[in-house]
Structure 1
Amino acid sequence: MDVQLVWLRSDLRIHDNTALAAAAAKGPVIAIFLRTISQWQSHGHGANKIDFWGCGVEAVQSALNGLNIPLLHRDIEHYSEAPQALLAIAHEHSVQQLHFNYQYPLNEQRRDKAVIQAFKEADITAHGYHDAVAFAPGTLLTGKGDYYGVFTPFAKVWHKQVSVEQLALRDTPEPQTPLSIKSDKLPKLPKLDSQSVGHHEWPAGEETAGDHLARFLRFRSRHYHQQRDIPSVRGTSELSPYLALGMISHRQCMQAVMSENGGHLADGDVGLTTWVNELIWREFYQHVAVGFPEVCRYQPFQEHTKQLAWRDDDEGFQAWCEGRTGYPLVDAAMRQMVATGWMHNRLRMVTAMFLSKHLLIDWRRGEEFFMQHLVDGEFCANNGGWQWAASTGTDSAPYFRIFNPTTQSKRFDPDGEFIARWLPELSELPAKARHAPPHDMLTQVNYPTPIVDHKTARLRALEAFKALSR
C-alpha cells in the first residue's frame, strides 16, 4: 500500500490544497500537524494567532475525518526537530512519500530543506509545492534577472504572465477507504502569556472563510475601492486571518473574482480589481522574503537606513501600545487591535507611521507588538507593511511622507464614528471635535493631551532621514 503523508502547516483546508490533492492522487493519505509553540512564540506570534491556529487544526481535522483521512499530531519545541518527528511517523506507517506546501520566511525555508534532505537520506521522496503563490519565488524576475523590490512592476508582470493553469483549483480528495489508523486527540493549548480574544471574534475553518468571501463579494466588493479606507464601515474582505493560515487560498479568491468580473482580474469592476491587487501584495512580500533574506533577519531592506538614529522612548512606546498618545485615530486603532486581534489596514499604516516617524521609535518594536496581538499576524505581510511605513523597506513610502493623524482622521473618519466606538470617553463630544479635542475639553473627558506635536515631530523625522548617507 503506497501510503502518502501530508504535512499541514499554514494550509488548513481540504479544498484547493496542492499538497493534499497530489497525495490523494497517489494513494491512501494520512496527515500530520507539528505544533511548535516555542518556535512560534520566538517568531513573535501571540496568543490570538496561536489560539486561532489551534482552532484551525481542529476544524481541518473534522473535515479530514469526513474523508477518512486521519490527522496525527505531534508537539515539538523547535523546527530543527521536524525532520526526525516526520521520519518517525513515516517509518511507523510505511510512508512512501511526503507532501507539503512551502512557506517562505527564512527559518521555514531552512526547516523544509532539512526535511527534504533527511527524507532523501532515508530513501523516501519528499515533495514541496508552491501552493501559497501563483509564481514560485525566483520565477518572476526583472529584466536584469533580479527579484522585484518595487510592487507596481511586479504586479504588472504578474498580470501579464499569470496563466489559467496557475489559478486553477486543485482537486478535493474523494473519501478514501478507512484506514486502521485513527486521528489523534488534539491536545489543548497550554496557558499562554497573554489572553486570546477568543473564538467569538474569529471562528476558525474554511467554511467560515468561504462565508466571509461570499458575503464580501455579494455586499461589499463593488465598493471596495471607495470604502476600504473607512474604518467605521465594514468595507474590507476581513479574510486576512483565513488567508494567513490557509483556511482559504488565493486561487479560491481569484476564481471568485473572475466569476463576478467576466473572467478578468486586471480590468473590469474597479472594486474587484483593487482587491485583486491587495492579494498580489501578499504574494509580492513572500517573494521579497526569499529574494532579500535580510528582511527575515530583522534588517531594513534599504541598507542605508541601518544607521538611522532611532529614539529610546519607552514611555512614548507604552503610550502608543496602550492607545493614549493623545491622537484619537491612533489611539482608537490601537485599542481595536488589542481588543479584537485585528486592525483596519488604513489604520495599520497610520499607527505604524506614527510610531516610526512621529515618535522616531524603531519600527521593529512596533512590528513585534503587532505580531503579539494580530490574529492574522504573518511575517511577510507584517514586515513589509512596517518597513513601508518606516521608509526602510521595499517600495517604501518616501521618507518625507509622514501622515498627519488628525488629517487622516478627518478624511477617513469624518464624523468620528470609529473614534467614538473605541474611545467612548470622546463619544459625547461634537463629531468635529473628536479628531483633535480642544484643550478645554480634554479635562472634561479624561483624555490625554498629545504626547508630541505633529509639526515638531515631522521636522525631527525629516532631519533624521536627511542625516543618512546613501
Structure 2
Amino acid sequence: FAQQNGPCMAVVILSPDQWKLHQDATIKIDFYLRQLAELKKSLCGLNIPLHIQTVPLWQDIPAALKQLCQRFQIKTIHCNIENGWNEQQRDLSVATQLSKMDCQFEQYTDRTIFPLHTIRNKSNQPYQVFSAFKKNCIEQLNICLPQALPAIEAQQMVFDNEGIDNLIPSLEQLGFEAIPAEKQQLWPVGEQVALDHLMHFIDSNLVQYDQTRDFPAIEGTSQLSIYLNIGILSIRQCLEALFNAQQGHFYIENSGQQFWLNELLWREFYQHVMADFPHVSKHLPFKRSTQNIPWLQDDASLNAWKYGQTGIPIVDAGMRQMLATGWMHNRVRMICAMFLAKNLLIDWREGEAWFMQQLVDGDFAANNGGWQWSASTGTDSVPYFRVFNPISQSQKFDAQGDYIRRWVPELARCNAKQIHEPYAYITDSNLDYPHPIIDLKMSRQRAIATFKMVNAK
C-alpha cells in the first residue's frame, strides 16, 4: 500500500528497555534481530532503504518519528496494528503527533484474520466463549476467505544513503546477553525458511494433526508460532496454505484440517480478547472475582518449578525443554501451567512472566490466554474443579517415556511404567532425581476448596 503513492523507505525502531519491561525473552529478541538482517537483504534487492533506530522506550517514539519525518520529508507512515494495550496507547500518541505535522498515519490488520472489534454477537458485544466466537469466524470465512497479499515489487532507486542508518546492533549493545550459536541454530530465520516449514507441515503432518498434536515426543505440531509471532508469516498465508488443496475454497476435508483451523482460531480469539477486554493486559484476571484467590508465597517450590526440579517427570521435562531450547510443546505447557496454579497454588502471573522470559515464540495474548485458561481465571477457561493429574497426562501422551528421557536423563534407565512416577517403584537412593515436592491428591483437593471458597463469596 505504501508504494502506491510513490517511493518508500522502511523504518524499524528497536526499544530494548520496553522489551525488558514486557519481559520478552532474550532468545526471542535474538531471533528478531537475525530476521531483521534477512529483511535488510530482501529490501536491498527491492531498492528500499532500511533505517534502523534505537528508541529505548515507546513513550519516546512519537518524538523520534517527528524528527524522522522532518529529516526525510515523509508524508505518510504505514504500519501494522499491534494489539496490546501499551501498543495501542503508543500508536494513539504517534497518530496525535503526526496529525500536528499534517502527516498521515495508516494502519493495517496483519496479526489477526479479522480486524479487531469486528467479531460481535447479536447484541454487538465481544465474545467471551470460544465456541461462539469460532462459529462467527467460520461464518465469516465461508463468505470470504482472506487471501495473502502479493509480494511487493522493486522500486526505482531514488534515495541516497545520507542520514540512513541500517546498522543492526548486537544483543550486547542493546543490553542483553548473547545467545549461544547452537541455540540460535534451533530457530533458523528467513521468509523462505518459514514458507518451507509451513508447506512441509501442510503436506506431511496436517492430515494426522488431530492424532499427533498432543504427543510431545514426536513432531506433531506445526511449530509455526515463532514465525507468526514476529510477522515472518502472516495468518493469511496459513489460511491460504490450509485450503490450498481446495483451490482456496473454504471447506473442511479431514479432521486434521479442522483441528489446525481450531488452533488458529484460538490464537485469533485471544488476540481479540486482549483488545476487547484491556484489563487482561494489566496483570489482572479476566474473571475479576479470582483476583481474591489467596495464592501461596512459596519461593522454593516456584524455583523448583522454574528449573525442572519438581520431582514430577513430565513437568520437569517441559520446563527443561523450554530452558534449553526456548520452546515447549503445547500440551506440556498446559500441564506445567496447571501444576503451578492448581497443585502448587502459586499465582499464575508468576508462571506467565517466566514463560515470556524464556519462550522464543512468546506472544502476550496467547501466553496470557493460555495461563488464564489453565488457572481457571480467564474467559472460557477450564472449570476450577478440573485439575490435570500430571502423571495421568504423562502416561497418556508420553506412554513410553521418550519425551521424559530426552529432557530428564536421570530417569533414562527407568522403564515405561516407572518413568512417570519413579519413586512409586524405585527406592534406589542413587537415582539422582528429586522426590515430588507436592502430594498431587492433597494439592488437588486444596485447589478445588480454595477456588470454591472464593467463588462462594
Do the two structures share a fold, i.e. TM-score over 0.5? yes
Match of 1:158 among 125, 128, 137: 137
Aligned to 2:299: 314
**1:397 Cα offset (Å):** 0.3
Q: Residue 206 of structure 1 aligns to which amino acid in structure 2?
A: E
Check conservation: 1:265, 1:273, Cα contact below 8 A.
Answer: no
Aligned to 1:114: 93
Quick one: distance in 2 between partners of 1:462 and 1:379?
Answer: 27
Matched, 1:359 2:337: no
Match of 2:414 among 420, 426, 429: 429
**1:131-280 counterparts in 2 under 5 A?**
131-162=110-141, 167-182=146-161, 184-190=166-172, 192=175, 196=179, 198-261=183-246, 263-265=248-250, 267-280=252-265
Quick one: distance in 1 between partners of 2:48 and 2:145?
Answer: 26
Quick one: distance in 1 between partners of 2:450 and 2:355?
Answer: 24
Quick one: distance in 2 between partners of 1:194 and 1:357?
Answer: 33
**1:64 Cα offset (Å):** 1.1
**1:277-426 counterparts in 2 under 5 A?**
277-426=262-411
Q: Residue 283 of structure 2 aligns to which amino acid in structure 1?
A: Y
Q: Residue 270 of structure 1 aligns to which amino acid in structure 2?
A: S
Quick one: distance in 1 between partners of 2:257 and 2:206?
Answer: 6
**1:204 Cα offset (Å):** 1.6
Aligned partner of residue 279 in structure 1, secondary structure: helix
Quick one: distance in 2 between partners of 1:130 and 1:442?
Answer: 58
Relative to 1, partners in 2 of residues 1:220 and 1:50: Cα closer, same or farther, differing over 3 Å?
Answer: same
Report runs of 4+ in structure 1 exceeding 6 Å deviation: none
**1:24 Cα offset (Å):** 1.6
What do residues 63-101 of structure 1 show as CA deviations (whole Å, max 9, x unaligned)? 111111111010011111111111211111111211000
What do residues 116-140 of structure 1 show as CA deviations (whole Å, max 9, x unaligned)? 1111111011101112212211111
Check conservation: 1:134, 1:162, Cα contact below 8 A.
Answer: no
What do residues 214-246 of structure 1 show as CA deviations (whole Å, max 9, x unaligned)? 111121111110000000000011101111101
What do residues 343-395 of structure 1 show as CA deviations (whole Å, max 9, x unaligned)? 00000100000000000000000000000000000100000000000000011
**1:263 Cα offset (Å):** 3.8
Relative to 1, partners in 2 of residues 1:333 and 1:195: Cα closer, same or farther, differing over 3 Å?
Answer: farther
Q: Residue 196 of structure 1 aligns to which amino acid in structure 2?
A: I
Q: Residue 452 of structure 1 aligns to which amino acid in structure 2?
A: I
Match of 1:74 among 53, 59, 64: 53
Match of 1:443 among 429, 436, 440: 429
Instruction: Tell me how many residue pairs correspond in the alignment.
Output: 449
Aligned partner of residue 422 in structure 2, secondary structure: coil
Quick one: distance in 1 between partners of 2:187 and 2:390?
Answer: 29
Aligned to 1:60: 39
Check conservation: 1:356, 1:390, Cα contact below 8 A.
Answer: yes
Aligned partner of residue 5 in structure 2, secondary structure: coil
Match of 2:23 among 44, 69, 88: 44
**1:25 Cα offset (Å):** 2.0
Q: Residue 35 of structure 2 aligns to which amino acid in structure 1?
A: G
Check conservation: 1:134, 1:166, Cα contact below 8 A.
Answer: no
Aligned to 1:17: none
Aligned to 1:465: 451
Relative to 1, partners in 2 of residues 1:223 and 1:450: Cα closer, same or farther, differing over 3 Å?
Answer: same
Check conservation: 1:151, 1:281, Cα contact below 8 A.
Answer: yes
Quick one: distance in 2 between partners of 1:446 and 1:51?
Answer: 34
Check conservation: 2:145, 2:249, Cα contact below 8 A.
Answer: no
Deviates further, 112-121 or 362-371: 112-121
**1:444 Cα offset (Å):** 2.8
Quick one: distance in 1 between partners of 2:160 and 2:350?
Answer: 46
Aligned partner of residue 72 in structure 1, secondary structure: strand
Matched, 1:102 2:96: no
Deviates further, 351-360 or 168-177: 168-177
Quick one: distance in 1 between partners of 2:155 and 2:143?
Answer: 29
Q: Residue 199 of structure 2 aligns to which amino acid in structure 1?
A: A
Check conservation: 1:320, 1:331, Cα contact below 8 A.
Answer: yes
> RMSD of the TM alignment (CA)?
1.5
Matched, 1:30 2:9: yes
Segments of 5+ residues of structure 1 without an aligned counterpart are: 1-21
**1:166 Cα offset (Å):** 5.8
Q: Residue 62 of structure 1 aligns to which amino acid in structure 2?
A: K
Relative to 1, partners in 2 of residues 1:442 and 1:244: Cα closer, same or farther, differing over 3 Å?
Answer: farther
Q: Residue 20 of structure 2 aligns to which amino acid in structure 1?
A: Q
Quick one: distance in 2 between partners of 1:311 and 1:244?
Answer: 33
Quick one: distance in 2 between partners of 1:165 and 1:80?
Answer: 38
Q: Residue 94 of structure 2 aligns to which amino acid in structure 1?
A: V
Quick one: distance in 2 between partners of 1:449 and 1:113?
Answer: 52
Quick one: distance in 1 between partners of 2:361 and 2:296?
Answer: 28
Quick one: distance in 1 between partners of 2:290 and 2:210?
Answer: 33
